[in-house]
Amino acid sequence: MKYIDEYRDSKLCEKLASQIAKIAKGKYITLMEVCGTHTMSIARYGIKNLLPPNIQLLSGPGCPVCVTADADIDKAIAYAEKENIILTTFGDMMKVPGTFSSLSTEKSKGREIKVVYSAADALQLAISNPEKIVVFLGVGFETTIPTVAVSILDAKMNGIKNYYVLSMHKLIPPALRALLDDKEVCVDGFILPGHVSTIIGVEAYKVIPEEYGVACAITGFEPVDILQGILLLVKQIVYGKPRVENQYRRVVKEHGNPKAQRLIEEVFEPTDCEWRGLGVIPRSGLKIKDKYSDFDIEKKIKIKIQKRKKNTRCICGEILRGVKTPLDCTLFGKRCTPENPVGPCMVSSEGTCAAYYKYGFNSRAMQEEKL
């Protein structure tokens, strides 16, 4: 297929759904998509409505905004409160609540918090404001981490002394293992993230079927992509042959993007990291290596974070683990909306709650969940 319309062909989608139902033969199968873009596409195109009722789709921790812990938001706010600091961030982080505030709220109080579209924009801001300390809030998975690495390398090469990164980056494979080690999580197969996989490749996931016996398929983001990926997973599960299959071959290669991988390895190293809902996962985050510590804001300025009580009614953590859905939340669609979000899954454009709110109220699959 060459053109985008071919990946949205309704007849082909119906044919794939029919094949899925035929092969599954009533076997109850639970699949989890591990990408916020997949979550939105599944909701937007009504994929759940095409599938037989014995195929359940759950959303996992594939939204980098959503899995950012309260403590990390509090840390970013603490830096924004410092004199002479400009905190820069992607726009979807602005409304994410910490334990007591958000970046958007702090900006309204006069803090210098600016939305940028890339780490390169933040670096340029530092060049334009040499009297200020510019901090880039490094939130994201393997897809965007190489661009942050490049910004640090550029700053070093050009002698930029006022550019820093607050690294909150996270890695997907360790999170998958943490999910499978969680006894509350019941997953037969993973719909793996296409964007992340362009960087880390197919081989990065092979431990999942080998050690856990769980089916894996890397897929693209159009309806035909997703349904083809689900068909691959159903075949693996029904025939008892779990492995990693690559539906997204037009983009994802076996070994990923070696140049991007080298950039990450040059600037960052693995560290233990807290994920919202999943807790601290060993070696699932990245910190800046000592050789580039001149660009690590945590080495430059030490801060203290005041501990506050969390909102115990928000269940974003359980939603990110796939043990609950937004319809289990007493706040969903009432106190918690995209205009006034209580939890990060409603804030992010890739969040599960946002997808349910925007597309789910009138769909058959969502109505069945309410029963």
Q: Tokens 């880390």 identify what position?
A: 200
* Confidence class for position 349, pLDDT limits 50, 70, 90: confident
pLDDT score for 2: 66
Between residues 16 and 310, the one the model is more confident about: 16
H/E run at residue 148 = helix 145-157
- Compute the distance between CA of residue 352 and CA of residue 323 in angstroms, rounded to an integer: 13
- Compute the distance between CA of residue 173 and CA of residue 168 in angstroms, rounded to an integer: 16
- Compute the distance between CA of residue 276 and CA of residue 28 in angstroms, rounded to an integer: 29
Q: What is the dihedral of CA 296, 297, 298, 299, to 10 degrees?
A: 60
Statement: residue 370 has pLDDT above 80: no
pLDDT score for 341: 87
Which two tokens mark 32?
């989890």
State the sign of the Cα–Cα–Cα–Cα dihedral 286, 138, 219, 328: positive
pLDDT score for 363: 44
| Distances 332 to 35, 337, 347 between C-alpha atoms, Å | 21, 7, 12
DSSP single-letter state for residue 4: G
pLDDT score for 367: 42
| Rounded average pLDDT over 338-359 | 90
User: DSSP string of 81-135?
Assistant: TSTTEEEEE-GGGTT---SS--HHHHHHTT--EEE-SSHHHHHHHHHH-TTSEEE
CA angle 66, 264, 322 (to 5 degrees): 25
Q: What digits encode the pLDDT tens for the residues 134-160?
A: 999 999 999 999 999 999 999 999 999
Which two tokens mark 298?
């945590």
Backbone angles phi, psi at 206, to 5 degrees: -65, -20
Share of the chain above pLDDT 90, in %: 85
| Distances 361 to 51, 358, 368 between C-alpha atoms, Å | 18, 8, 11
Contact 315/329 with Cβ under 8 angstroms? yes
- Compute the distance between CA of residue 371 and CA of residue 51 in angstroms, rounded to an integer: 18
pLDDT score for 369: 45
pLDDT score for 5: 82
What are the residues facing 133 on neighbouring strands? Answer: 85
Residues ≥6 apart with Cβ < 8 Å to 284: 170, 171, 174, 175, 178, 270, 272, 273, 275
pLDDT score for 304: 83
Q: What digits encode the pLDDT tens for the residues 3-62?
A: 788 889 999 999 999 999 999 998 999 999 999 999 999 999 999 999 999 999 999 999
- Compute the distance between CA of residue 345 and CA of residue 89 in angstroms, rounded to an integer: 18
Q: For 267-271, 354-358, 362-366, which range has the lowest pLDDT when averaged over its residues? A: 362-366
Which two tokens mark 180?
């499978």
Q: Which amino acid is at 320?
A: L
pLDDT score for 156: 98
Domains and CATH numbers, the chain: 31-311 (3.40.50.11740), 316-358 (no CATH)
pLDDT score for 312: 64
What SS3 state is found at 57? strand
| Distances 226 to 14, 97, 163, 229, 247 between C-alpha atoms, Å | 12, 31, 40, 5, 9
pLDDT score for 100: 86
pLDDT score for 309: 60
* Confidence class for position 225, pLDDT limits 50, 70, 90: very high
What SS3 state is found at 338? coil
Which two tokens mark 132?
């200020």
Backbone angles phi, psi at 170, to 5 degrees: -135, 155
| Rounded average pLDDT over 96-111 | 92
Q: What digits encode the pLDDT tens for the residues 63-99?
A: 999 999 999 999 999 999 999 999 999 999 999 988 8
H/E run at residue 151 = helix 145-157
* Confidence class for position 371, pLDDT limits 50, 70, 90: very low
* Confidence class for position 364, pLDDT limits 50, 70, 90: very low
Q: Tokens 């812990």 identify what position?
A: 69
| Rounded average pLDDT over 296-300 | 97
Statement: residue 247 has pLDDT above 60: yes
Statement: residue 208 has pLDDT above 50: yes
What SS3 state is found at 282? strand
Average pLDDT of every residue of the chain? 93
pLDDT score for 305: 81
